[in-house]
Structure 1
Amino acid sequence: MNYLPNAFEPPVWYLVMPVCGATEEVFTGKRYADILAARLNNDQRNALIKVEDYTFLPSSVHLMIREVALSLDMWWPAFMEAVLEELNKKWPGGGLLWCSYTSERIADEKAFEHRAYELLYLPVWKGLARDPEGYAYNSVNNRANIDL
């Protein structure tokens, strides 16, 4: 795939956000996936960020986002705090926390393609699906209804 010059300006980021405190599926449960999707779609409608790709695993969120109006440092902490607050309102007993979250700047097409492939195949590698098209919570099937 050939990208236009400056295709990675504004920056594109690969984010991994695992949640701690859950003994069962979080982000592949519709009521919890909906919280995450609503926040992402709202932030996109307000042109804060653009979701390029995603995969929700049972206890972690994997996103590729492009900065739009806000830098990652401005957007991400507020996003994580808002999502966690809403999750804990609906999670039995609350107590969910983000743990060991990471970010990586996607600097070129090779890195983008590598992470896109990883997002696509994570559910297969984790034994959650036989093929990427068989997994509901990713950009391919978009069961979370994220504006892509």
Structure 2
Amino acid sequence: MDFLPNAFDSPIWYIGMQINGASELLTQKRNREILAKRLNRDQRNALIKVEEYTILPDAIHLIVREVALSLEMWWPVFRDTTAGELEDSDVAEGVNCTWTNLSQELIIDAVAFERCAYDLLYQPVLKGYATDPGFYEFNSINNVAGIDL
């Protein structure tokens, strides 16, 4: 299977991270807006490009393409800033938000991209939140969070 020529010239990463603090925190509207605002701002500034995403109640899974910043430079800032903003939100008052179970995988070809996209989109099914990824609101299929794709 051939993707577009040069499709993997800039690194593409599959990232997963779980929020430690509140089990339904990330699917609440205010907190989804915090994630979307940060990701959209980073995309407008051409730091990264979000290819796919899934937001679970306590975790976020992203496929991002490096643009101006490497993952090593972008991810720690995104991780720490969003944790601070989530902790400061009215919904999470009194909750100590920290990211746990951080994972990252470099996607090197079309086969790896399809596997990671499948894994990302089927996370809600595997976790029991939906029977089909098309019926789960908080992913790049339905884009209820409003993340620029």
TM range (shorter): over 0.9
Task: Find the residue that maps to 2:125 and give its secondary structure.
Answer: helix
Moved over 3 A (4+): none
User: Where do 1:101-116 residues align within 5 Å?
Assistant: 101-116=102-117
After superposition, the CA RMSD in angstroms is 1.0
**Aligned mates of 1:5, 1:107 — CA distance in 2:** 13
Residue 17 (structure 2) pairs with residue 17 (structure 1): yes
Deviation of 1:96 (Å): 1.1
How many positions carry a matched residue from both structures?
147
2:6 corresponds in structure 1 to: 6
Query: Structure 2: which 5+ runs fail to align?
Result: none
Identity %: 55
Residue ranges of structure 1 left out of the alignment (5+ in a row): none
Kindly state the Cα deviation for residue 115 of structure 1 after the two structures are TM-superposed.
0.7
What residue in structure 1 maps to residue 88 of structure 2? 89
Match of 2:37 in 1: 38
Q: For 1:91-142, what per-residue CA distance to the aligned partner results, in whole angstroms no more than 9, with x for missing partners?
A: 1203111112011000010000001111111111111012111100000000
Provide the rounded CA distance (Å) in 2 between the counterparts of 1:87 and 1:25. Answer: 12
2:5 counterpart letter in structure 1: P
1:141 aligns with 2:148: no
- After TM superposition, the score normalised by the length of structure 1 is 0.96
How far has the Cα of 1:5 moved from its partner? 3.1
**1:48 — aligned with what?**
47
Residue type of the alignment partner of 1:7: A
Tell me how far apart the structure 2 counterparts of residues 79 and 120 of structure 1 sit (CA, whole Å): 21
